[in-house]
Structure formats: structure tokens, C-alpha cells
Amino acid sequence: MPLVTTKDMFEKSMKEHFAIGAFNVNNMEIIQAIVDAAAEENSPIVLQASSSAIKYARIGYLRRMVEAALEEHDIPVVLHLDHGPDFETCKLCIDNGFSSVMIDGSKYDFEKNIALTKKVVEYAHNKGVVVEAELGKLAGVEDEVNVSASDAIYTDPEQAKEFVERTKCDSLAIAIGTSHGAYKFKGEAKLRFDILEKIKEKLPKTPIVLHGASTVIPELVNMCNKYGGNIPGAKGVPDEMLHEASLRGVSKINVDTDLRLAMTGAIRKVFAEEPEVFDPRKYMLPARELICKTVQHKIRDVFCSSNKA
């Protein structure tokens, strides 16, 4: 099956109350692990690359590795730019065959965010590519933009409606209390489901996206720490909350940190237990397997997109 856009899978997700997992990719093993997990679950999937991932892996490699995955499996796969920082990066991805881009204008004021998003939407739609935009600020680090926790601004439902109507973006990333990275909450995890509900009331047909949605799986953090890592006090969004979000109208759930933890934990284990190993396949294989298992758990047990391909 060729690359698809998010259009059909988002429609299905809104009708049938499940979410599509969107996982960040940086290299071959990560791509293989995610697509293998999705194929095993017969689930649609979004593979997303940030601008720093594109700098690291190079756009041609990413595109062609995803093409290779498509040759192996017959499930709907989206190749998406995550947190596009400007028009030029979105254009680069559209021109290189991505089927979806995010323009992240959340660092700008409302009017500038609208103007930038509209420009990307116009270019993308002409080429059959869909656009995710963002309104509201997540606490934490968004690519190169730092937003301090005290600056975090939840998405305003009324503004969200105006934003979507004026920009004609295809989906909207909102801020309801999540943040990027491994340190999301100091005390109890809390998401503003009341804001999500109001946004869905105003925009019942717009697919909603949740960023910063890693669980920061305790077993993976422990594994990293047990084998020489130092990630104390890490905390993410519990599975139950993500499941609730998927039932309450979130169509796309973004995960990167949990994959980083899985890869690092698996590699650290081999390094610690088998110091004589220096064949990269001996530690990249368990890393790929643990990412695959992690993705499969999310798809099947949390986002409930199994058999929705």
C-alpha cells in the first residue's frame, strides 16, 4: 500500500473512538520496530520525523526506509513532519514525499500563527498533503523552543474554533497539561479533560492531537537506571489517561520519549551484562525488539487501534 494521509484513519478514529499512535523515527531500527508492531496489530500508524531527526538521518534515507517498510506490510502508514518550525521545512518535506506535515506556530502570537499555518495549508493542500497545526503551549521543550512550565498556556476552545476555521488546517494539536520529555509532572499527573471536552464541542469534526504523551514507562526508566543510567524522578502520562483521551476525541497520540527509553534500556543491559560484545547487531536487535513490544502494547491496550487498518 502506498503512503496515505491521515484523512481516512482520523475519520474512523472519531467515529469509532480510538486513537492513532504517532511515533517518532530517527533510524532504521526504530522504523522497523514501529511498523512491525503496527502490522502485527493490523493497525494504522503515523511515523513522524522532527526537523532534528531529518538533520540526523537525512531526508532521503528516512523516506526510502519508510518506502521499504511499505513494501513489506499492507497497513496504512503516514509519513509526517513533527513540529515543523517554518514554511521552508514543511515545503522540503512535502516536496520529498511526506504525506502529512505539522506547522508548529505555537511559539508565535495568534495572528502570526494563523498567517504561517495558512501559508503551509495552501501549499500542502495543493499537493494532496494534510496539515496539523498547534494552538496553546506545552510546558517543556519543543524542539529548539523552550517553554517554561509557568508559561504553559492551555488551548482556549473559542480561539481553537476560530483558528481552525481561518487556517483550514486538517487537525489541531492542543495543550491540556502534557509536556515533552521524561519529566512531565512534579506531583500527580493531571490532564484538563474539561478543556478537551469544550474543544470537541466547538470542533466536533476536527481531529485532535495530543503531544507529549509518553507514559515514561516505569519499567523502562528502571531498566535504564539499573544498568548505569541516571534518570531520577521521571514521570509521564499514565496509560489510563491516554486511553480516556482516545475515547474522548483525541485522534492522534504522539510518543517519542518511551521509545528512547526502550532503546537506551535495552542497549545499556547488553553493555552491562555482556561487556565483551562489540557487534552492534547484538545490542541493536534487543533494542528493536523492546521498541516493537512497547509500541504494540500502546496500540493494542491503550490507543485501541488494533484491527482498524
Residues labelled as active-site residues: 82
User: What is the distance between the alpha carbons of residues 12 and 73, in angstroms, rounded to a whole number?
Assistant: 20
**Hey, how many other C-beta atoms are within 10 angstroms of the C-beta on 47?**
26
CB of 138 to ligand 13P, least distance (A): 8
Local structure of residue 253 (DSSP, 8 states): E
Provide the β-strand partners of residue 164. Answer: none
Provide the β-strand partners of residue 171. Answer: 132
User: What is the distance between the alpha carbons of residues 81 and 92, in angstroms, rounded to a whole number?
Assistant: 10
Question: Is residue 36 within 8 Å of 28, Cβ to Cβ?
Answer: no
Residue 251 or 254 with smaller CB distance to ligand 13P: 254
Q: Which does 52 bind (CB under 5 to 8 A by kind): ligand G3H, Zn ion, ligand 13P, none?
A: ligand G3H
Kindly list the residues in this chain that would bind ligand G3H in the complex (CB under 6 A): 24, 50, 52-53, 82-83, 142-143, 180, 256
In angstroms and rounded to an integer, the radius of gyration of the C-alpha atoms of the chain is 18
CB of 146 to ligand G3H, least distance (A): 12
146: phi then psi, degrees, rounded to nearest 5: -95, 125
Q: Which does 143 bind (CB under 5 to 8 A by kind): ligand G3H, Zn ion, ligand 13P, none?
A: ligand G3H
What is the grid cell recorded at 198?
469544550
Q: Which does 269 bind (CB under 5 to 8 A by kind): ligand 13P, ligand G3H, Zn ion, none?
A: none
Residue 136 or 205 with smaller CB distance to ligand 13P: 136
Residue 257 or 308 with smaller CB distance to ligand G3H: 257
Residues 6+ apart with CB under 8 A from 11: none
Residue 5 or 106 with smaller CB distance to ligand 13P: 106
Q: Which does 113 bind (CB under 5 to 8 A by kind): ligand 13P, Zn ion, ligand G3H, none?
A: none
Kindly list the residues in this chain that would bind ligand 13P in the complex (CB under 6 A): 24, 82-83, 180-181, 211-214, 254-257
Coil, helix or strand for 187? coil
Q: Which does 53 bind (CB under 5 to 8 A by kind): ligand G3H, Zn ion, ligand 13P, none?
A: ligand G3H
User: What is the distance between the alpha carbons of residues 240 and 265, in angstroms, rounded to a whole number?
Assistant: 24
Place of cell 472519531: 14
Amino acid present at 49: A
Instruction: Give buried/exposed letters for 271-298 (b at 16+ CB in 10 A, else e).
Output: eeeeeeeeeeeebbebbbebbbebbbbb
Residue 83 or 308 with smaller CB distance to Zn ion: 83
- Of 211, 260, 298, 308, the residue at the interface with Zn ion (CB under 5 A) is 211
CB of 161 to ligand G3H, least distance (A): 25
Binding part of the chain for Zn ion, among 17-25, 88-96, 207-215, 216-224 by CB under 5 A, reads 207-215
Coil, helix or strand for 196? helix
Residue 231 or 270 with smaller CB distance to ligand 13P: 231
CB of 259 to ligand 13P, least distance (A): 8
Q: Based on the number of CB atoms within 10 Å of its own CB, is 15 exposed (0-12), middle (13-18) or buried (19 or more)?
A: exposed
Q: Which does 255 bind (CB under 5 to 8 A by kind): ligand G3H, Zn ion, ligand 13P, none?
A: ligand 13P
CB of 139 to ligand 13P, least distance (A): 11
CB of 203 to ligand 13P, least distance (A): 20
For Zn ion, the binding residues (CB under 5 A) are 211, 254
